[in-house]
Structure 1
Amino acid sequence: MTLRGLLWRFAAAYMVLLVVVALALNLAGASSSTSGNVAALLGAVMWVCMDFGKKNGRYFTSEEKKRAIAGMLVIDMAMQAVLTVSVGLSSGAPALSLGPMSMVLLFIGVLHALVIWAFVGIAGKQYAAAEAKRNRNG
Structure 2
Amino acid sequence: MEISNNIILNLMNKSLDGLWLRQQATMENIANYSTPGYKSKSVDFESFLKSNLDSLNQTASEANSKIKSSSIIIEENGDQSMRLDGNNVDLEKENLQLAKTQLQYMYTVTEMNSYFSKLKSVISEGKK
Normalising by structure 1, what TM-score?
A: 0.38
The structure showing larger relative contact order (alpha-carbon pairs under 8 Å, at least 6 residues apart) is 2
Normalising by structure 2, what TM-score?
A: 0.40
